[in-house]
């Protein structure tokens, strides 16, 4: 047994032997309790106090847990991968900072710190880490094919070879900007027809389900006197009102079935072929595919990308399986030593005057300039066609809506006039 003694500040002896210190602490604890409590009661009081303290602590943890849960709810958000707009903004910032002389690693680090989307920030940080580990920028980009296209990666690789990364990034930004502008024009052209179509369907449903049933009592017992349009309209109204629970899932299933079908190989071929034969859509789609293909080829050839890689990338971004098959056939023939123009002459998807200009560019060694001029011309034509198609669709939709509403109104009014004439004749 070890016994040590020392003196405190008042000179009292302090015993550190555990056999004597433990009973001494127990007696001091009992003395601090109320005098009416015995030793057993003191033990029970201490247990109750401890239990109460534990309960108080747990109650104190409640608000903190609630606050943490609220913070998690407030910070919770659903994020998708980077959009085209994010890639365009990233490329613009990259081009400006690299041209200013900032190192690529510092540029990526600065862009990542400003990025609000967590997924895209992680991708940019991964690019920086791969470059610091010894990979080239194009190799780092190739690790994220779902974000950066083959065109993007190949143009960066060509810029690394030529030592003109900042200029190439600027060309990339201009290319992405033009693609975004074209896509925006097409979407804008479809907004008005979609609004008109939605209004037409909504008005029709309202008339059939809420207005027409009020006239049913008037027509009761006189069905043999009703004209054929009114009979068809009443049958359609009854069908909508009684089977709407089946109609809504049926419409959803039809939309899903169509979407699933056009994503199959056969369905995609049928849909892409249909877009090239529809009266109002075919010219717009042809100009869109030609503009996209030739603009991509012009950008890649000016960047110094090998011609086979250029044609392969053009096939992938063409946007139509028929044009993709055309460019893949051109790829095989060019790989065998033939020229691009001679391969395109065999296809009806490319206008003959365009093929002739491409042949002139190949013969004169100015293919990239010719492709740029052709794509610029078709880009202007595409804008004109979008305006023309929009101006034709708008009145057509308005007329269709007027005819539909007029048919419903006349189907209601005609039997009323007919019955009024019968009453007057009697």
Q: What is the pLDDT at residue 254? A: 94
Query: Is residue 135 included in any domain, yes or no?
Result: yes
Is position 329 within any domain? yes
Q: Look over the chain and give the mean of its residue pLDDT values, rounded to a whole number.
A: 79
Judge whether 397 and 199 are in contact, CB under 8 Å.
no
Spatial CA neighbour of 296 closest among 382, 175, 177, 377: 175
Judge if 200 and 239 occupy the same domain.
yes
Question: Could you tell me if residue 290 is inside a domain?
Answer: yes
**Shared domain check, 241 and 128:** no
Return the SS3 of 279. Answer: coil
pLDDT band at 20 (very low <50, low <70, confident <90, very high): very low
Indicate the SS3 state at residue 82. coil
Phi, psi of 101 (to 5 degrees): 95, 5
In this structure, are 280 and 135 located in the same domain? no
Residues 280 and 227 both lie in one domain = yes
Q: Supply 60's token pair.
A: 């104190």
CA dihedral 40, 46, 50, 56 (to 10 degrees): 120
* 129, 247: one domain: no
Same structural domain, 208 and 139: no
CA distance linking residue 345 with residue 358, whole number of Å = 11
- The answer to whether residues 180 and 144 belong to one domain is no
Label residue 196 exposed, middle or buried (CB < 10 Å: 0-12, 13-18, 19+).
middle
Q: How far from 164 is each of 39, 95, 96, 149, 158, CA to CA, in Å?
A: 89, 11, 13, 20, 9
Q: Are residues 121 and 207 in the same domain?
A: no
Q: What is the mean pLDDT of residues 177-197?
A: 82
- Based on the fold, state whether residues 339 and 230 are members of the same structural domain: yes
Q: Is 295 a domain residue?
A: yes
Q: Which residue has the tokens 């020229």?
A: 339
**Residues 189 and 312 grouped into a single domain:** yes
Query: Per-residue pLDDT for 130 more than 50?
Result: yes
Residues paired with 5 in a beta bridge: 15
Any domain includes 229: yes
The backbone torsions φ and ψ at residue 347, rounded to the nearest 5 degrees and listed phi first, read -110, 145
Domain match, 110 and 180 both: no
Angle value at C-alpha 174, between 170 and 180, nearest 5 degrees: 140
Q: Sorting pLDDT into bands at 50, 70 and 90, what band is 70?
A: low
* Position 40 in a domain: no
Task: Say which residues have a Cβ less than 8 Å from residue 112's Cβ, sequence separation at least 6.
Answer: 121, 124, 125, 128
244: helix, strand or coil? helix
- Can you give the CATH number for the domain in which 420 is found? 1.20.81.30
**Which runs of consecutive H residues, i.e. helices, occur in 304-366?**
307-316, 321-335, 340-344, 352-364
Would the pLDDT of 329 be above 60? yes
Where among 148, 166, 193 does a domain terminate? 148
Given this model, what pLDDT does residue 274 score? 93
Query: Read out DSSP for 140-201?
Result: HHHT-TTTS-HHHHHHHHHHHHHT-HHHHHHHHHHHHHHHHHHHHHHHHHHHHHHHHHHHHH
Q: Are 150 and 311 within 8 A, CB to CB?
A: no
Residue 259: pLDDT over 90: yes
Residue 51 has pLDDT above 60, yes or no: no
Other beta carbons within 10 angstroms of residue 262's beta carbon come to 15
- Reported as a single tens digit per residue, the pLDDT across 268-325 is 999 999 999 988 788 888 988 998 889 888 888 888 888 998 899 889 888 899 999 9
The confidence band for 163, taking pLDDT boundaries of 50, 70 and 90, is confident
pLDDT at residue 376, rounded to an integer: 87
pLDDT for residue 7: 42
Q: Which of 148, 167, 185 is the last residue of a domain?
A: 148
Sequence length of the chain is: 426
Contacts of 233 (CB under 8 A, 6+ apart): 208, 212, 408, 411, 412
Q: Comparing 9 with 420, which gets the higher pLDDT?
A: 420
What percent of the chain has pLDDT above 90?
21
* Pairing label, strands 5-7, 13-15: antiparallel
Looking at 148, 164, 193, the residue that finishes a domain is: 148
The answer to whether residue 323 sits within a structural domain is yes
Q: Which helix (H) or strand (E) holds 73?
A: helix 39-75
Domain annotation covers residue 74: no
pLDDT: is 58 or 307 the higher one? 307
Instruction: Give the structural domain span for 186.
Output: 175-426
Specify the range with the lowest mean pLDDT, choosing from 4-18, 136-150, 351-365: 4-18
User: Which element (helix H / strand E) includes 368?
Assistant: helix 367-425
Point out the least confidently predicted range of 57-71, 75-89, 91-105, 395-409.
57-71
pLDDT computed for residue 32 by the predictor: 42
DSSP conformation class of 306: -
CA 195/CA 189 separation, integer angstroms: 11
On whether both 370 and 266 belong to a single domain, the answer is yes
What pLDDT sits at residue 73?
59
Confidence at residue 403, expressed as pLDDT on a 0 to 100 scale: 87
Res 255 pLDDT > 90: yes
Q: What is the mean pLDDT of residues 92-107?
A: 90
Number of domains in the chain: 2
Evaluated on CA atoms 340, 346, 350, 356, the torsion sign reads positive
């Amino acid at each position: 047994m070890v016994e040590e003694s020392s003196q405190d500040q008042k000179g009292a002896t302090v015993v550190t032997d555990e056999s004597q210190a433990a009973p001494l602490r127990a007696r001091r604890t009992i003395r601090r309790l109320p005098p009416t409590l015995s030793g057993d009661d003191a033990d029970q009081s201490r247990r109750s106090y401890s239990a109460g303290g534990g309960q108080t602590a747990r109650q104190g943890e409640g608000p903190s847990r609630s606050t943490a849960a609220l913070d998690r709810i407030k910070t919770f958000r659903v994020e998708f991968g980077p959009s085209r707009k994010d890639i365009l903004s990233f490329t613009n910032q990259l081009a400006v900072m690299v041209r200013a002389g900032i190192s690529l690693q510092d540029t990526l680090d600065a862009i990542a710190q400003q990025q609000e989307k967590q997924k895209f920030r992680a991708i940019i940080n991964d690019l920086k880490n791969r470059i610091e580990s010894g990979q080239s920028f194009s190799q780092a980009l190739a690790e994220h094919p779902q974000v950066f296209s083959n065109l993007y990666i190949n143009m960066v690789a060509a810029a690394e070879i030529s030592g003109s990364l900042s200029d190439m990034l600027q060309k990339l930004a201009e290319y992405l900007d033009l693609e975004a502008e074209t896509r925006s024009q097409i979407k804008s052209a479809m907004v008005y027809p979609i609004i008109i179509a939605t209004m037409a369907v909504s008005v029709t449903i309202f008339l059939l389900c809420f207005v027409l049933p009020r006239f049913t009592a008037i027509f009761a017992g006189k069905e043999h006197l009703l004209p054929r349009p009114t009979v068809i309209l009443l049958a359609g109204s009854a069908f909508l009102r009684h089977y709407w629970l089946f109609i809504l899932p049926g419409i959803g299933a039809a939309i899903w079935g169509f979407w699933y079908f056009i994503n199959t190989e056969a369905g995609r071929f049928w849909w892409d072929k249909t877009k090239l034969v529809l009266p109002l859509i075919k010219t717009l789609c042809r100009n869109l595919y030609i503009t996209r293909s030739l603009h991509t080829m012009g950008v890649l050839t000016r960047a110094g990308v090998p011609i086979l890689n250029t044609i392969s990338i053009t096939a992938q971004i063409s946007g139509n399986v028929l044009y993709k098959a055309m460019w893949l056939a051109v790829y095989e023939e060019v790989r065998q030593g033939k020229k691009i123009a001679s391969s395109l002459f065999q296809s009806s998807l490319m206008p003959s005057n365009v093929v002739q200009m491409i042949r002139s560019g190949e013969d004169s060694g100015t293919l990239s300039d010719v492709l740029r001029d052709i794509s610029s011309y078709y880009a202007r034509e595409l804008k004109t066609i979008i305006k023309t198609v929009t101006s034709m669709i708008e009145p057509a939709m308005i007329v269709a809506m007027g005819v539909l509403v007029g048919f419903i109104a006349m189907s209601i009014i005609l039997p009323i006039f007919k019955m009024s004439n019968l009453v007057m004749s009697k």
